[in-house]
């Protein structure tokens, strides 16, 4: 039982304004494994004002010092890798090996690459007789999701601190425990008071206040498209910067002539990673109609080979979804899919041998209309939809027939053909013939999948404002830049 009774505000752990708590369930057992404070408006207000007071000093501190602090966060996560991976396996349901590699390892890599990007990015640029300076955006409200609690935190806190911003973090109520450990690491670094603040609480209260508060200059959210709409609406009256990484219903497009032996295992991994609880998961598999029956048989065999069980068991491939609410949502979609297409494997029944926990059978539907709900709507669980096409042009059209545009994949007979297809997809990133995720490349979406980009120097740039200093002449500017 992990009980966190305090919030991290203004450089210290302090008691919340009220006594309400948020309970955290273990996804595999449904048992309560922890509690955190349910912060109130007064707590968020105190954190925001602390961040405001700290901003001037932190934003003018040497970039080398800020980069060193971000690197130290990466080192701190790696030093507590086992503890953190186990907590997120319990909170989220992520199988332990993936939790080590992705939940902790990727988060550490993002902090590390952001420290490097900050040192590499010039802080000023000459444009004619103007000197363009990058200035920290200000106080940042970071609202993070439950599916990747640390990775998404790193993708916001890393660039914010590196740019010279101060932050107030609101973690998801479903999986907040790892964020408190990061705050422990921050406290151990001795950062100036107010640079990093943590206020756990319910989104309708703390999240709304961060989004609407006049002393918050930027809000960054990862969440559902509906949550993004609410944050954007709350932020609009104060005209603050908004970065939104939202939902997805990404396509894995198999082109004619592609190597199915390589493509289909990659398609399965892309859909079912983290038990399907990934915004960029490739949950639509689009294949040539002439190969549909073969694809169905192969996909069924791959999915039925999954070992489903407690995520703390090293043999487990697929764990439970994170919460009772998500369990009900996924099960409802499976019921819908039973009326819309052909069930290839899985289905609505219970998982054999699992009488507790939020376990869902990994499910595959096929022979679906591209407009079916299980094809169009984000399910956020272990459900794959297979759609057939007759021509590659039709396949591309099906891939683009979505309100979302976060991610995708193309597998073709060769890389040039895959690139030709990928560049016609309206989506933020595309894996080419199995290309791997790159923590230095920009991540974000088209359409309702979001606004802005995270990761690498593109993600870092989101946390700056630009100031142009206009000099009387280029000669005056040249004289000035030689002396700084």
**Catalytic residue IDs:** 245, 279
Under 8 Å between Cβ of 368 and 341: yes
Residue 256 DSSP symbol: T
Sheet strands side by side (includes 363-366): 342-345, 363-366, 383-389, 284-288, 251-254, 408-411, 431-432
402 contact partners, CB below 8 Å, separation of at least 6:
249, 251, 284, 376, 447
- Locate the DSSP E strands across 246-312: 251-254, 284-288
Q: Which residues of 389-414 are buried (b: 16+ CB within 10 A; e: fewer)?
A: beebebbbebbbbbebbbbbbbbbee
CB atoms < 10 A from the CB of 251, how many? 30
CB atoms < 10 A from the CB of 334, how many? 23
Kind and range of the H or E run holding 457: helix 456-461
Phi-psi category of 201—alpha, beta or left, where left has phi over 0 and alpha has psi -120 to 50? Answer: left
Distance (Å, rounded) from C-alpha 203 to C-alpha 201? 6
Distance (Å, rounded) from C-alpha 135 to C-alpha 124? 9
Distance (Å, rounded) from C-alpha 174 to C-alpha 146? 6
The residues facing 431 across adjacent strands are 409
Distance (Å, rounded) from C-alpha 226 to C-alpha 35? 27
Residue 436 DSSP symbol: P
The residues facing 222 across adjacent strands are 245
Distance (Å, rounded) from C-alpha 438 to C-alpha 132? 29
Distance (Å, rounded) from C-alpha 463 to C-alpha 162? 9
261 contact partners, CB below 8 Å, separation of at least 6:
none
Residue 318 DSSP symbol: B
Distance (Å, rounded) from C-alpha 158 to C-alpha 281? 24
Distance (Å, rounded) from C-alpha 7 to C-alpha 12? 8
**Over the Cα atoms of the chain, what is R_g?**
23
Would you state the structure tokens that stand for residue 257, as one six-digit string?
């002539």
Residue 275 — φ and ψ, nearest 5°? 60, 30
Distance (Å, rounded) from C-alpha 405 to C-alpha 427? 4
């Amino acid at each position: 039982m992990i009980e966190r009774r305090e919030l991290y505000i203004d450089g210290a752990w302090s008691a919340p304004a009220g006594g309400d708590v948020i309970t955290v369930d273990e996804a595999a057992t449904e048992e309560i494994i922890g509690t955190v404070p349910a912060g109130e408006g007064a707590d968020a207000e105190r954190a925001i004002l602390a961040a405001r007071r700290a901003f001037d000093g932190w934003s003018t501190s040497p970039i080398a010092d800020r980069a060193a602090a971000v690197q130290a966060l990466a080192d701190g996560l790696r030093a507590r890798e086992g503890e953190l991976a186990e907590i997120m396996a319990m909170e989220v349901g992520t199988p332990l090996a993936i939790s080590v590699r992705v939940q902790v390892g990727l988060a550490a890599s993002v902090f590390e690459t952001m420290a490097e990007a900050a040192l590499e990015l010039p802080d000023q640029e000459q444009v004619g007789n103007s000197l363009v300076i990058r200035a920290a955006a200000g106080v940042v409200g970071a609202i993070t999701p439950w599916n990747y609690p640390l990775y998404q935190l790193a993708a916001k806190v890393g660039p914010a601190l590196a740019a010279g911003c101060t932050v107030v973090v609101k973690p998801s109520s479903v999986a907040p425990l790892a964020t408190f450990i990061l705050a422990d690491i921050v406290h151990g670094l001795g950062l100036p008071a107010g640079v990093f603040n943590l206020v756990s609480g319910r989104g309708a209260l703390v999240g709304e206040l961060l989004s609407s508060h006049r002393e918050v200059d930027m809000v960054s959210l990862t969440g559902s498209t509906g949550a993004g709409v609410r944050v954007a609406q709350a932020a609009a009256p104060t005209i603050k910067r908004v970065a939104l990484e939202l939902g997805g219903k990404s396509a894995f497009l198999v082109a004619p002539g592609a190597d199915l032996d390589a493509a289909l295992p990659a398609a399965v991994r892309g859909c079912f990673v983290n038990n399907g609880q990934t915004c960029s998961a490739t949950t639509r598999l689009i294949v040539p109609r002439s190969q549909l029956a073969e694809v169905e048989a192969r996909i069924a065999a791959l999915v039925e080979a999954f070992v489903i069980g407690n995520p703390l068991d090293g043999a487990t491939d697929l764990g439970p979804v994170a919460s009772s609410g998500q369990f009900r949502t996924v099960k409802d979609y499976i019921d819908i899919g039973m009326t819309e297409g052909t069930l290839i494997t899985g289905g609505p029944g219970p998982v054999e041998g699992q009488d507790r926990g939020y376990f869902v059978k990994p499910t595959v539907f096929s022979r679906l209309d591209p407009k079916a709900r299980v094809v169009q709507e984000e399910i956020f669980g272990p459900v794959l939809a297979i759609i057939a096409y007759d021509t590659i042009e039709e396949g591309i059209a099906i891939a683009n027939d979505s309100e979302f545009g976060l991610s995708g994949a193309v597998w073709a007979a060769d890389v040039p053909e895959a690139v030709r297809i990928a560049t016609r997809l309206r989506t933020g990133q595309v894996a080419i013939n199995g290309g791997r995720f790159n923590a230095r490349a920009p991540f974000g979406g088209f359409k309702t999948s979001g606004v802005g980009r995270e990761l690498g120097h593109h993600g870092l740039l989101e946390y700056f404002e630009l100031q142009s200093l206009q000099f009387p002449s280029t000669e005056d500017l040249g004289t000035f830049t030689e002396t700084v």
